[in-house]
Amino acid sequence: MALARDPHLPATIGAPAGLTTGSRLPSLGVGLTVTSVFSVQLGAAASTSLFPAVGPAGAAWLRLSWAALIFTLITRPRPWAMARRDLVDAVLLGVVSAGMTLLFFEAIARIPLATAVACELMGPLAVAVARRSGRSGLAWPALAGAGVLLVTQPWRSSADLVGIGCALAAAICWAGYILLTQRVGDRLTGLAGLAISMPVAALVAAGVAAPQALPRVTAGAVVAAAGLALLLPVLPYALELVALRRLESAAFGTLMSVEPAVALVVGIVVIGQAPEPVQALGVLFVTAAAGGAARTGRRSLPARTISSNTNS
C-alpha cells in the first residue's frame, strides 16, 4: 500500500511532521512500534498478578489512574485552549481506551493471552480492510476468521464464551482507538491528546470498577499498579501516538500484526500458557491476515495539523 497524497500539493502540505510519503520505513517509527508491541504484551501478562487482589477491572482502573496522573504531570494540559473538535476527539479516545483496557483485562482473566490478542486483532483488521484498495483485501477477513476459530475453538465445552466475547468487544474498541489516535495525533502537538484522554479513561474505568474493587485495594496493589502502568498503558500509548505520526498506516498495521505471535511467546515464557498446535496455527493465520490487510489498506493524509496550546 502506498500512502495517498494529492499530487497537486507540495510534499510539505497536508502531512504531520515526520510522516513519510514514500515506501521507506523510518527506523524510529519502526522501533517505537515494535517496542510498543512488546510493552503491551509484557504489561498484560504482568497485570494478571493484580487480578487476585483487585480483579481485572480493578487492575485496569488502577493502571489507567496512574497513567492519567503521569501524563497530566508531564504535559499539564489546558483543555480550555483547545478547539472544541479536538477536545471532543480526545475525550472519545479516553472512552474507547477505557473500554479496550477493561474488556481486554476481563478477557485475559478468562482465556489465554494469545487467544485474547488474536480475537482483539480483529479490530485493527477491520480498519485495514475498510481502507483496502481493490478486492484483494476481502480475502483477509476470511483467513482471520478461520484463525480465530482455530484459536478459540468455541465448539468445545471448555471454551469460555464470556472471555471470547470480551476480547471481541475489545476489538471494536481497538478499532476506534486506532482511528481516534491518528486523528488526535495529527491535530494535537506532543502528548496533549493523551493528557486529556487518560483522565477520561480513568474516570470511565472508575465508574465500572471502583465500587467493587475499592474495598479490596491495598497499598501494595497501588504501588504495583504504578510500576505496571509504565508498561501498559503509559509507554505503549505514547509510543503509538508518536509512531503514527511517522509511519504509513500500512506499515504501522503490518508491524502491529505481530502482536498475536508476541503474545504467544510472552504467554509461554512469562505465565506458562502453552497453546495447542492447532491454536498456534490459528495465531499464525490471524497474524498473516492482519499483515496482509494492512498492506492493502490506505490512509489519506489530513488537510492540516493543528497545534494545541499546552505546556508540553
As a whole number of angstroms, the distance between CA 198 and CA 307 comes to 19
As a whole number of angstroms, the distance between CA 16 and CA 167 comes to 33
Q: Report, as an integer, the average pLDDT of 48-63.
A: 96
Q: Select from 296, 267, 251 the least CA-distant residue to 34.
A: 251
If pLDDT is split at 50, 70 and 90, which confidence band does 1 have? very low
Q: Report, as an integer, the average pLDDT of 193-214.
A: 96
Task: Say which residue the cell 504484551 belongs to.
Answer: 41
| 270 grid coordinates | 512469562
Q: Is the pLDDT of residue 6 over 70?
A: no
If pLDDT is split at 50, 70 and 90, which confidence band does 106 have? very high
pLDDT in tens, 233-272: 999 999 988 887 777 666 676 777 889 999 999 999 999 9
Contacts of 64 by beta carbon, 8 Å cutoff, 6+ apart: 97, 98, 101, 198, 201, 202, 205, 229, 233
Average pLDDT score over the chain: 84
Look at phi and psi of residue 109 and say left if phi exceeds 0, alpha if psi is from -120 to 50, else beta: alpha
As a whole number of angstroms, the distance between CA 154 and CA 152 comes to 5
Say what the pLDDT of residue 19 is: 39
Say what the pLDDT of residue 193 is: 92
Residues facing 300 on adjacent strands: 4
Say what the pLDDT of residue 7 is: 33
Q: What percent of the chain has pLDDT over 90?
A: 59
As a whole number of angstroms, the distance between CA 265 and CA 271 comes to 10
